[in-house]
């Protein structure tokens, strides 16, 4: 988990990412999402909706082994983040590491 956490943080800090369910859905609809990261311990149907949309759009989904609070902390945010859409990887290697 440490490697993916570092890649997520680098992508959020140096690249472009959409945080949260609604922003992630928008990035899928706008065809800007290159990779989705979803907290594995999410509650609700939104995650299933995102996974379904990603499958239709041929976007890979990576499960983050942790809660949405932990994913938020990895992103440097003081709130929970259920999903992250990587739009530009910045200095991270998240897109190469998760092909």
Could you tell me the two tokens for 45?
């149907």
In CATH, what number is assigned to the domain containing residue 30? Answer: 3.30.1330.30
Name residue, tokens 């379904």: 52
Full domain range(s) for residue 54: 2-89
Number of domains in the chain: 1
Q: Is residue 94 part of a domain?
A: no
If one counts every other C-beta atom within 10 angstroms of the C-beta of residue 6, the result is 14
| pTM attached to this predicted model | 0.91
Question: How confident is the model over 30-45, as a mean pLDDT?
Answer: 87
Mean pLDDT score of the chain, rounded to an integer?
91
Q: CA angle at residue 58 from 28 to 35, to 5 degrees?
A: 60
Q: Is residue 19 part of a domain?
A: yes
| pLDDT one-digit tens code per residue, 72-87 | 999 999 999 999 999 9
């Amino acid at each position: 988990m440490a490697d993916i956490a570092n890649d997520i943080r680098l992508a959020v800090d140096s690249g472009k990412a959409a945080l949260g369910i609604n922003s992630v859905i928008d990035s899928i609809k706008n065809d800007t999402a290159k990779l989705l990261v979803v907290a594995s311990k999410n509650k609700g149907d939104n995650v299933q909706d995102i996974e379904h949309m990603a499958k239709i759009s041929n976007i890979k989904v990576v499960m983050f082994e942790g809660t949405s609070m932990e994913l938020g902390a990895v992103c440097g945010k003081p709130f929970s983040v259920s999903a992250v859409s990587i739009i530009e990887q910045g200095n991270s290697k998240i897109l190469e590491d998760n092909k």
